[in-house]
């Protein structure tokens, strides 16, 4: 391709995206918490993953300020050079304790964490078996691992068992615990049992598991398990982590390229996450989760997560519904292909403990007026 060919190619790609009705652009949300101005319009947002409202919690903000004053704005280097501060080690120890594992490692993002875990543990000679609705970071990590990748139909445990039985060598099973677009939960006990039966390693991405599932220690008995999470959702900061056995974490420290070849998580984010973790593990965290559970039940009784999908099917219908809600001061994003499969465009409602009862009631009434199909007690 000549230099002159690139502008034409770019124009064609952008035109195709626009013609397909899939054009996207960044929007500015000026806010702390769910209430603010979206492109200048006052709204209540039901789009954030700040599930417990900890982003603006005074203790979390104060911890970030203290870290900024002590260590400055950035870490200045990769973890294996001079980028590790005491706050990183303290946070990792507390994350491991929280997840009941021997060790943990923090990375700059949740996306980078899945890339690092799967490329370090996968590779030639390994079959990675992945649920078809796993997050994009898992999909990309599996591709980069150069492993034999097999996809099992969403929630099909017989399909999982069959793919493991056919694995020619080592096998690694990876699944979201709560799926980011449907908000449904994996059967972790059954998935772990399949790993136990076939000697497979298990990677669970618990990014959205603020309301569970919360597996018991017996779930992972006899299974090498890695628990991946983020610092940016339940904990309201930024970053990702993996928790597991000491041997797994040592391997990640030594071979996970997305951890080795990048500047370390900022001290302020690490400190904010550590302060948020202390809240989550204490009485206030219990109260916040109860409030979140109450809000979810007001919209979709029995639904397992704060991600409530309103599946409308048609892309134009989803965009129109989002616009109608925005006119009422309620921001709920329309999710379209390629984020979700064609024919499953939807509104993706995310609820927070920071919402008020009145705000949730307003949203429920507006969705009812639209005739929007909310999930029932089955969580689907």
Which pLDDT tens digit goes with each residue over 95-132?
Answer: 999 999 999 999 999 999 999 999 999 999 999 999 99
Out of 280, 315, 347, a domain closes at 280
Do residues 68 and 37 both lie within one domain? Answer: no
Q: Counting Cβ atoms within 10 Å, is residue 261 exposed (0-12), middle (13-18) or buried (19+)?
A: exposed
Residues 6+ apart with CB under 8 A from 373: 310, 311, 312
What would the mean pLDDT of 310-321 be, rounded to a whole number?
Answer: 95
Q: Largest Cα–Cα distance of the chain, in whole Å?
A: 63
Quick one: how far is CA 246 from the chain centroid? 24
Quick one: how far is CA 288 from the chain centroid? 19
Task: Tell me: pLDDT of 52 over 60.
Answer: yes
Which pLDDT tens digit goes with each residue over 347-370?
Answer: 999 999 999 999 999 999 999 999
Do residues 195 and 82 both lie within one domain? Answer: yes
What would the mean pLDDT of 300-325 be, rounded to a whole number?
Answer: 96
Look-up of token digits 């391997």: 251
| Structural domain includes residue 130 | yes
Note if 75 is an active site residue. no
Q: Give how far Cα 270 sits from Cα of 56, 90, 134, 210, Å.
A: 15, 9, 26, 19
Q: What is the CATH number of the domain that holds 338?
A: 3.90.1150.10
Do residues 203 and 147 both lie within one domain? Answer: yes
| Structural domain includes residue 287 | no
Q: Give how far Cα 260 sits from Cα of 77, 88, 160, 251, Å.
A: 10, 15, 32, 11
Count Cα atoms within 13 angstroms, Cβ side, for 241. 32
Residue 192: name the closest of 164, 151, 167 by CA.
164
Do residues 198 and 135 both lie within one domain? Answer: yes
What would the mean pLDDT of 36-55 be, rounded to a whole number?
Answer: 97
| Structural domain includes residue 93 | yes
Q: How many whole angstroms separate alpha carbon 235 and alpha carbon 233?
A: 5
Active-site residue (options: 88, 99, 135, 208): 208
Active-site residue (options: 180, 232, 345, 352): 180
| Structural domain includes residue 298 | no
Do residues 62 and 43 both lie within one domain? Answer: no
Out of 265, 280, 295, a domain closes at 280
Do residues 211 and 338 both lie within one domain? Answer: no
Active-site residue (options: 57, 88, 99, 233): 233
Do residues 41 and 68 both lie within one domain? Answer: no
Do residues 34 and 148 both lie within one domain? Answer: no
| Structural domain includes residue 39 | yes
Asked whether the beta carbons of 369 and 310 are under 8 A apart, the reply is: no
pLDDT band at 376 (very low <50, low <70, confident <90, very high): low
| Structural domain includes residue 72 | yes
Q: Which residue has the higher pLDDT, 3 or 173?
A: 173
pLDDT at 377: 36
Do residues 198 and 102 both lie within one domain? Answer: yes
Residue 373: name the closest of 355, 351, 350, 347 by CA.
347
| Structural domain includes residue 363 | yes
pLDDT at 342: 93
Share of the chain above pLDDT 70, in %: 98
pLDDT at 2: 60
Note if 180 is an active site residue. yes
| Structural domain includes residue 294 | no
Quote the number of domains for the chain.
Answer: 2
Do residues 194 and 248 both lie within one domain? Answer: yes
Task: Tell me: pLDDT of 15 over 70.
Answer: yes
Query: Residue 163's domain spans which residues?
Result: 56-280
pLDDT band at 1 (very low <50, low <70, confident <90, very high): low
pLDDT at 254: 99
pLDDT at 380: 32
Note if 216 is an active site residue. no
Neighbours of 132 (CB within 10 A): 14
What would the mean pLDDT of 38-67 be, rounded to a whole number?
Answer: 98
pTM: 0.95
Look-up of token digits 């370390």: 264
Average predicted confidence (pLDDT) for the chain: 96
Q: How many whole angstroms separate alpha carbon 323 and alpha carbon 302?
A: 28
pLDDT band at 21 (very low <50, low <70, confident <90, very high): confident
Look-up of token digits 């994350």: 95
Neighbours of 16 (CB within 10 A): 10
Which pLDDT tens digit goes with each residue over 135-159?
Answer: 999 999 999 999 999 999 999 999 9
Helix (H) or strand (E) holding 359: helix 357-370
Our CA dihedral for 236, 241, 242, 247, rounded to 10 degrees, sits at -140
Q: How many whole angstroms separate alpha carbon 166 and alpha carbon 175?
A: 19
Do residues 39 and 155 both lie within one domain? Answer: no
What would the mean pLDDT of 289-295 be, rounded to a whole number?
Answer: 99
Do residues 46 and 73 both lie within one domain? Answer: no
Q: What is the CATH number of the domain that holds 239?
A: 3.40.640.10
């Amino acid at each position: 391709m000549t230099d002159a060919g690139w502008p034409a190619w770019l124009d064609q790609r952008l035109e195709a995206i626009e013609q397909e009705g899939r054009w996207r652009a960044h929007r500015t949300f000026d806010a702390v918490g769910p209430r603010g101005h979206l492109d200048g319009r006052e709204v209540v947002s039901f789009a954030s993953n700040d599930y417990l409202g900890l982003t603006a919690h005074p203790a979390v903000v104060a911890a970030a300020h203290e870290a900024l004053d002590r260590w400055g704005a950035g870490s200045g280097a990769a973890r294996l050079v001079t980028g590790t501060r005491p706050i990183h080690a303290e946070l990792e120890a507390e994350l491991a304790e929280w997840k009941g594992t021997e060790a943990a490692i923090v990375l700059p993002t949740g996306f980078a964490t899945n890339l690092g875990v799967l490329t370090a543990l996968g590779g030639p000679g390994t079959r990675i078996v992945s649920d078809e609705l796993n997050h994009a970071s898992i999909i990309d990590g599996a591709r980069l691992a150069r492993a034999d990748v097999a996809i099992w139909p969403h929630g099909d445990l017989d399909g999982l068992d069959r793919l493991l039985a056919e694995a020619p060598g080592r096998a690694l099973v990876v699944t979201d615990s709560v799926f980011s677009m449907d908000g449904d939960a994996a059967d972790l006990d059954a998935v772990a049992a399949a790993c136990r039966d076939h000697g497979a390693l298990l990677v669970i991405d618990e990014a959205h598991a603020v309301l569970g599932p919360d597996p018991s220690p017996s779930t992972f008995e006899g299974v090498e398990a890695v628990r991946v999470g983020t610092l940016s959702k339940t904990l309201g900061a930024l970053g990702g982590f993996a928790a597991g056995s000491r041997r797994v974490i040592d391997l990640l420290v030594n071979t996970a390229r997305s951890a080795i070849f990048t500047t370390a998580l900022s001290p302020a984010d690490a400190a904010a996450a550590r302060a948020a973790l202390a809240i989550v593990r204490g009485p206030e965290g219990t109260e916040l989760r109860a409030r979140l559970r109450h809000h979810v039940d007001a919209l979709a009784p029995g639904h397992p997560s704060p991600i409530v999908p309103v599946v409308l099917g048609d892309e134009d219908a989803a965009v129109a519904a989002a616009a109608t809600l925005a006119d009422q001061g309620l921001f709920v994003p329309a999710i379209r292909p390629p984020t979700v499969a064609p024919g499953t465009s939807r509104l993706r409602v995310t609820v927070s403990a920071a919402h008020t009862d009145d705000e949730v009631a307003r949203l429920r009434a507006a969705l009812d007026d639209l005739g929007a199909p909310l999930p029932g007690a089955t969580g689907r």
